[in-house]
Chains A and B, each alone.
Chain A
Amino acid sequence: MNLNLTLIGQAIAFAVFVWFCMKYVWPPVMQALQERQKKIADGLDAASRATRDLEVAQEKAEETLKESKEQAQQILEQANKRANQIVEEARDNARAEGERIIAGARSEIDQEINRAKEELRAQVALLAVAGAERILESSIDESKHRELVDKLAAEL
């Protein structure tokens, strides 16, 4: 119970312990704690940044998908239109071609008819002349009556 030298001894021991703690224990532990705190904060920061990045990327992907879908739709429509156009064109061409062929055929037929008519006319003229020669039995000046006969033939 009596106060004695122990008091001073204890005070010195206490001072030494506090000094040691202040010098060699507190700073490293505190530093480690703060560094870990910083690390954790950085980690959380990075995680939130990554989440945000992911969101942005997802949005972008969605947008791209939408765009490409629209593009595909457009291309499809264009192709359809083009196909219709081609079909239409082909039909027109075919029709025109058909008409041309028909027209050609028709003109050929007309030509044939005309030629036949000419031939017929020539032959009819000769035939008429021959007939008339026979009928008249008289000599007829071929050149004199030629005009007449031609007129006759033309009336055929």
Chain B
Amino acid sequence: MAGNNPTSTEYIQHHLQNMTFGLHPEHGWSLAHSAAEAREMGFWAIHVDTMGWSIGLGVLFLYLFRLVAKRASTGVPTGLQNFVEMMVEFVDGSVRETFHGKSKLVAPLALTIFCWIFLMNLMDLVPVDFLPMLAQKVGAWFGADPAHVYFKVVPTTDVNATFGMSLSVFALIIFYSIRTKGLSGFIAELTLHPFNTPNKFAQILLIPVNLLLELVTLLAKPVSLALRLFGNLYAGELIFILIAMIGLWQLPLHFPWAVFHILIITLQAFIFMMLTIVYLSMATEEQH
């Protein structure tokens, strides 16, 4: 709980505010002391907590996997190697099933997406007050007002994180499309489908319609990818916060929601990975 007994609204808002560092028009380079201040910083501000946790977890993932990769033996695998190999085989199987082109990038990309998102989602299972309160204590120790120390632990409840990934995937979709079909092929795909006639004049009339439809289809991919993950985790986090507010009775409620959330965490990581593979597979396939 933040500072001197906040209201429920304040409590929830406090939990949903990122620790933002940026150039404030009045205070200069500083951490935002409120949601309003964070907004005033505009685009050139950075969420320290999101970046910190996501990079930390990404490094943890790569460290563990690199550890295994370095001493990977062909003998009987044990412990961590077993787990890593299981993950790699699972991802490799999914990629093989869905992605039919040849690419060295897609499988590691899928593995990174799955593990990274899974780890970031997993932070949702840490009790909601635990790390923020710790951050407040540390902030207070450094002389900051605890009520204004914001700390959001789950990076995937930040749109920036999910859009960061989905827009990267979107860039890859466009890159693969152009590489497979050529720029003209890519443009043709956007303008000559789904309505196509042999009549040249009618076709010219149909191009704007096609372009509109195909652009929506294309843009829906990264947007849905990012918002699906964000929405699920944000909602989950919100329910954890609501449960945390009801006092002692939160325990019997917290547990089933956490158990259910384990499913969501894994499922969302899997869906993000799977859809990425599917989108890239569609991008590399010839005219549909």
Contacts and interface: CB of A to CB of B under 8 A. Distances in A.
Nearest to A16: B58
Chain B's interface size range is 35 or more
A66 B109 CA distance: 66
Contact of A6 (B42, B50, B66): B50
Given A8-B164, A9-B46, A11-B164, A17 B112 contact: yes
Contacts of A24: 62, 66, 69
Contacts of A127: none
B111 A26 contact: yes
B108 A3 contact: no
B164 A14 contact: yes
A37 to B, nearest CB: 9
B15 interface: no
A116 interface: no
B184 interface: no
A7 B171 CA distance: 14
A129 B215 CA distance: 174
A18 B108 contact: yes
Contacts of A26: 69, 88, 107-108, 111
A138 interface: no
Given A10-B51, A25-B69, A26-B108, A5 B46 contact: yes
Interface of A: 1-11, 13-15, 17-18, 20-22, 24-33, 35-36, 39
Nearest to B62: A20
A9 B164 CA distance: 8
A8 B51 CA distance: 10
Contacts of B163: 3, 7, 10
**Most chain B CB neighbours (cut-off 10 Å) among A9, A15, A25, A36:** A25
Given A7-B164, A14-B168, A36 B74 contact: yes
B43 A22 contact: no
Contact of A2 (B38, B61, B92, B105): B38
Contacts of A11: 164-165, 167-168
Contact of A4 (B41, B107, B116, B168): B41
Contacts of A18: 105, 108-109, 112, 168
B85 A4 contact: no
Contacts of A39: 74
Interface of B: 16, 18, 20, 22, 38-39, 41-47, 50-51, 54-55, 58, 61-62, 65-66, 68-70, 72-75, 77, 84-85, 88-89, 92, 104-105, 107-109, 111-112, 116, 155, 158-161, 163-165, 167-168
A138 to B, nearest CB: 146
A30 B92 contact: yes
A21 B44 contact: no
Contacts of A28: 69-70, 72
Given A2-B39, A5-B45, A32-B72, A17 B58 contact: yes
Given A22-B109, A25-B111, A29-B72, A5 B164 contact: no
A25 B87 CA distance: 12
Contact of A10 (B61, B65, B108, B160): B160
A15 B172 CA distance: 11
Given A33-B89, A39-B74, A4 B62 contact: no
A30 B112 contact: no
Contacts of A7: 160, 163-164, 167
8 contacts: A3-B43, A4-B41, A9-B160, A18-B108, A18-B112, A26-B88, A28-B70, A30-B88
